[in-house]
Structure 1
Amino acid sequence: QQPSTTWKPIEKHESRAENSRQRSSTAWRSNGKQES
């Protein structure tokens, strides 16, 4: 098992950026689906 302190900070940082991007993607995707 690897120490969580090694990947936790990186994962958290990347997770934030990914979350923001995924949220945007999901937002317009849902919008397009509903509008279609």
Structure 2
Amino acid sequence: MKHYNTIIIGAGHNGLICASYLAKAGQDVLVLEASDTPG
């Protein structure tokens, strides 16, 4: 099982921006989205 530092629920604009900043800071991030497309 993979370990993530942060799990973000929702791949809307704010979720994706948050994931981007965290990933650039070296965090392992998982973004979960219920629909087929992000945004």
Relative to the length of structure 1, the TM-score reads 0.40
Greater share of residues in strand: 2
Relative to the length of structure 2, the TM-score reads 0.38
* Bigger radius of gyration: 1
